[in-house]
Amino acid sequence: MSSIRFLKLSPTVLTALVAGDLDAASTAAGHPLSHYLVEESWLWEIRLDDIGRDPEAADWIARAAVAEPEGIVVGHGGFHGPPDGEGVVEVAYSVDPAHRRRGHAKAMLAALLARADEDPRVSAVRASIRPDNAGSRAVIAGFGFRKVGEQWDPEDGLEDVWLRPAA
């Protein structure tokens, strides 16, 4: 499995990504970013709104995933926000199609779970996955997740809900 380091994306970086300005985003981030992050501008608009409503969210969301030792951005990951009232955080990650099938998703998940486990406020980590998404189900296998239910997502449709207790 590769090693992943997460690089926090500030509102300045997110704004540049939404504007499609990869050079400005990379400069503001202090690290070369990727076109894949520009393609995900819809997500950065949501994350900017999240941070505007709750500045603490910036510590949980919107991070570039940097593969080490190569130092290249292979995707992004984080959580949907800080721990909720029950201490649950929902994990989210995506690997650039140019870097898939190399273990980056599992490395991202491992790093995100370690981040969640470090925070005493976190009681569990949640993952929502469409039943037909065999790849995502394979990624969470072996990390202690168990299916606890289903939900309807307006964009993705039916999703299985998985939960893993914090370490």
Residues in the chain: 167
Max CA distance (Å), the chain: 43
* Six-digit token string for 137: 């189900």
Q: What is the pLDDT of residue 51?
A: 95
Q: Which of 52, 75, 58 is nearest to 6 (CA)?
A: 75
How far apart (Å, rounded) are the C-alpha atoms in residues 37 and 118?
Answer: 27
pLDDT value at residue 154? 85
What is the DSSP code string of 77-90?
EEESSS--TTSEEE
Q: Tell me, what CATH number does 24's domain have?
A: 3.40.630.30
Q: What is the pLDDT along the chain (167 residues), one digit of tens a residue?
A: 579 999 999 999 999 999 999 999 999 999 999 999 999 999 999 999 999 999 999 999 989 999 999 999 999 999 999 999 999 999 999 999 999 988 899 999 999 999 999 999 999 999 999 999 998 999 999 999 999 999 998 888 899 999 999 98
Amino acid at 40: E
pLDDT value of residue 112: 96
Provide the domain limits for residue 41: 3-165
Structure confidence at residue 121 (pLDDT):
96
19 vs 15: CA distance, rounded Å: 6
> How much is the pLDDT for 1?
54
Enter the tokens of residue 89: 């955080």
Q: Which two tokens stand for residue 156?
A: 């993705």
pLDDT for the residue numbered 167: 85
96 touches 74 (CB < 8 A): yes
Number of folded domains that form the chain = 1
Evaluate whether 73 touches 34 at the Cβ level (below 8 Å): yes
**pLDDT 10s digits, 23-35:** 999 999 999 999 9
- pLDDT score recorded for residue 155: 80
